[in-house]
Homo-oligomer: A and B are copies of this chain.
C-alpha cells in the first residue's frame, strides 16, 4: 500500500468521508487511491476558494472536518480567503496539500514555493510528511487536531514521493479532547451579574446558538430580564418560530453603539467582545458603552451548553419557560422591489428546516427581523468578512445535509469572487436555491467611504465602487455553468421564482434586480 492509500484509509476509518478537491499533478496518487478505497466522497471545485468555502459549510453543519485537496502553495493561496472565514467560524477542516517530491524541491521548479509559510497564518496544526510510513499517522493527527474544540484548521503537506512510495500504514484517529465546562467561578460571576438588577446583554457564539444551549440562554433571559445577542459574524444559529430569538449586533457602527448603549454589563458565551468591523475616524473601536463590565463566562472551546445550564441552575431558571419566536403573518407583499418587501417574501417562503446562507450584505439588512417568525431554520453568515463565501458555503452545507433545502442569499459583488461554485452545485445536483441581489455596486463601500470620512466620491472613485458598466447578467453566468436561472424584477416574479426554485430538485438561481 502506498502512502496516499494509507492516508485515504486512515481518513475513512476515522470518520472523514468528504473531500472537496481541486487537484494537480502532485495529488494524482491521492486521487488514484479514491478508486481503491470505499467511503470517501470527492467533490470537484473549479477554483480553490470553492473548495475551502465548501469545507467550511460542511463543517458548520456537521461539526466534522471535510478534507480539502489543494495543489501546492498557489492552490492553497487561492483557498486562503475562505480559510480565513473558516478560521473565524472555528470550523474543523483538514487541508491536504500536495508538494513536489522531497528530492525535487531543491531544483526550485516553477511551481515550487514555501507551502508551510502560506499555510501557517490560518493553520492551528501544520505538518509536512517525511515518508510514506508516516502519512497515515500524520493524517490521523491532523483529523484529531481539526476536531479539537472548538474546531480548527489542520494542514498536512504531502510531498509527492511520500504519497507514491510503498510502505503506507493506516493509523487510528485519536479521540480529540471533549469540550470542558468553564470554571465554577465563571458561572458564579455570571449568576451574580444576572441578579444585580442592571440590564445585562448576553452575547452568544458558536454552539451557544443552537439546541439545549440556546434553550438555557432563553430561560436565563426570561428569568433575569437579560437580552440575548449574537455577534454580527455568526457561524450558525438556529432560529424561527418556536425557538429562542437572538438579536444580531448590527454591522453599522452607529447602530451597534446605539443598540448596546443601555447595557452596563455583558456576559460572553463562546463569543469575543463585540468590536467595530472597521475603525472609523472619531469613533470607538469597542461597541459596548464605556465602563461596560464584560464577563467571559465561557470561551469558544468550552462546553457552552453545560455553561449555560449551570448558569440557569444558579439563577433558578432551569425550568423557566423561555420567550419563543411566534409565527409571523405570511401575507407576501407584491409590486416594486423594496428591501422590506424582498425580506417578507423570503420570510414567507423559507422551507421547514432550511439552511439559509446569508451574504446579502446591504440588500439583506432587514432579513433577520423579518424571518424570526418563519418556520424553523438555520442561519449561516460570513464569519470573517472576506466576501465570496456564500456560494461555496451552500455547496458544503448541501453536501452535509442532503435532506434539507439550502437557500443561498448572495450579493452580486460578493458572488463574483467564487461564482465557480455554481458548477459544483450542478454537477452534484445539490438542492441549493440561490438569490443574487443585483444592485450592480459594492454598495457597502459607498457608505463606508462616507463613514471613514473620505468625502463625496468623484467619478474615478465611484468607478471602484460600482460594478455596472457593464452590468453582470447572472442568468447567463449561471446557465453557463449548468444551473437553471431566472430573472426577477418585481416582488411578484421574485415570489413565483423563489417558490418554484425551492420545490425543484437540484440547484436554481434567481437574479433579483434592485
Query: B32–A118 contact, CB under 8 A?
Result: no
Q: Which of A14-58 contact B (CB under 8 A)?
A: 21, 23-26, 28-29, 31-32, 34-35, 42, 44, 46-47, 49
Chain B minimum-CB-distance residue to A465: B31
Query: A286–B107 contact, CB under 8 A?
Result: yes
Query: A472–B467 contact, CB under 8 A?
Result: no
| Contact of A479 with B by CB under 8 A | yes
Query: A445–B24 contact, CB under 8 A?
Result: yes
Give the shortest distance, in Å, between A256 (CB) and chain B (any CB).
Answer: 12
| Contact of A496 with B by CB under 8 A | no
Q: Using Cβ atoms and an 8 Å threshold, which residues of chain B touch A44? A: 463-464, 467
Q: Using Cβ atoms and an 8 Å threshold, which residues of chain B touch A477? A: 476-477, 480-481
Chain A interface size, as a band, is 35 or more
Chain B minimum-CB-distance residue to A458: B35
The stretch from A60-68, A80-88, A330-338 touching chain B is A80-88
How far is it, in angstroms, between the C-alpha of A113 and the C-alpha of B384 when the chains are bound?
10
| Contact of A339 with B by CB under 8 A | no
How far is it, in angstroms, between the C-alpha of A383 and the C-alpha of B110 when the chains are bound?
7
How far is it, in angstroms, between the C-alpha of A186 and the C-alpha of B96 when the chains are bound?
44
Query: B278–A25 contact, CB under 8 A?
Result: yes
Chain B minimum-CB-distance residue to A448: B25
Query: A459–B35 contact, CB under 8 A?
Result: yes
| Contact of A403 with B by CB under 8 A | no
Tally of this chain's copies: 2
Q: Which of A450-505 contact B (CB under 8 A)?
A: 451-455, 457-461, 463-465, 467, 469-477, 479-482
User: Chain A, 438-455, contact with B by CB distance < 8 Å: what is the 0/1 string?
Assistant: 000000110011011111
Query: B279–A454 contact, CB under 8 A?
Result: no
Query: A23–B472 contact, CB under 8 A?
Result: no
A118, A120, A286: most-surrounded residue (chain B CB, <10 A): A118
How far is it, in angstroms, between the C-alpha of A384 and the C-alpha of B75 when the chains are bound?
12
How far is it, in angstroms, between the C-alpha of A10 and the C-alpha of B169 when the chains are bound?
59
Chain B minimum-CB-distance residue to A107: B275
| Contact of A437 with B by CB under 8 A | no
Query: B100–A279 contact, CB under 8 A?
Result: yes
| Contact of A198 with B by CB under 8 A | no
Q: Using Cβ atoms and an 8 Å threshold, which residues of chain B touch A460? A: 34-35, 42
| Contact of A11 with B by CB under 8 A | no
Chain B minimum-CB-distance residue to A277: B109
| Contact of A78 with B by CB under 8 A | yes
How far is it, in angstroms, between the C-alpha of A66 and the C-alpha of B157 when the chains are bound?
34
Chain B minimum-CB-distance residue to A69: B464
How far is it, in angstroms, between the C-alpha of A451 and the C-alpha of B104 when the chains are bound?
15
Query: A88–B110 contact, CB under 8 A?
Result: yes
Give the shortest distance, in Å, between A53 (CB) and chain B (any CB).
Answer: 11
Query: A28–B458 contact, CB under 8 A?
Result: no
**Which of B26, B32, B470 is within 8 Å of A426, CB to CB?**
B470
Query: B81–A78 contact, CB under 8 A?
Result: yes
The stretch from A302-310, A391-399, A412-420 touching chain B is A412-420
Q: Using Cβ atoms and an 8 Å threshold, which residues of chain B touch A114? A: 121
A101, A110, A118, A459: most-surrounded residue (chain B CB, <10 A): A110
How far is it, in angstroms, between the C-alpha of A233 and the C-alpha of B112 when the chains are bound?
13
A281, A385, A413, A473: most-surrounded residue (chain B CB, <10 A): A385
Chain B minimum-CB-distance residue to A104: B279
How far is it, in angstroms, between the C-alpha of A25 and the C-alpha of B252 when the chains are bound?
13
Q: Using Cβ atoms and an 8 Å threshold, which residues of chain B touch A29? A: 452, 454
**Which of B32, B100, B108, B458 is within 8 Å of A449, CB to CB?**
B32
How far is it, in angstroms, between the C-alpha of A160 and the C-alpha of B279 when the chains are bound?
8
Query: B467–A46 contact, CB under 8 A?
Result: yes
| Contact of A343 with B by CB under 8 A | no
Give the shortest distance, in Å, between A422 (CB) and chain B (any CB).
Answer: 10
How far is it, in angstroms, between the C-alpha of A84 and the C-alpha of B109 when the chains are bound?
12
User: Chain A, 358-372, contact with B by CB distance < 8 Å: what is the 0/1 string?
Assistant: 000000000000000
How far is it, in angstroms, between the C-alpha of A477 and the C-alpha of B420 when the chains are bound?
11
Q: Using Cβ atoms and an 8 Å threshold, which residues of chain B touch A201? A: none
Q: Using Cβ atoms and an 8 Å threshold, which residues of chain B touch A465? A: 31
Query: B427–A470 contact, CB under 8 A?
Result: yes
The 5 residue pairs across chains A and B that have the minimum distance between CB atoms:
A470-B482, A77-B80, A476-B480, A74-B386, A35-B458
A–B pairs, 9, beta carbons within 8 Å = A25-B448, A32-B455, A35-B460, A42-B464, A77-B386, A84-B113, A117-B121, A160-B452, A423-B470
A residues with CB within 8 A of B: 21, 23-26, 28-29, 31-32, 34-35, 42, 44, 46-47, 49, 72-75, 77-78, 80-81, 83-85, 88, 100-101, 103-104, 107-111, 113-114, 117-118, 120-121, 160-161, 164, 232-233, 272-273, 275-279, 281, 285-286, 383-386, 388, 413, 416-417, 419-420, 423, 426-427, 444-445, 448-449, 451-455, 457-461, 463-465, 467, 469-477, 479-482
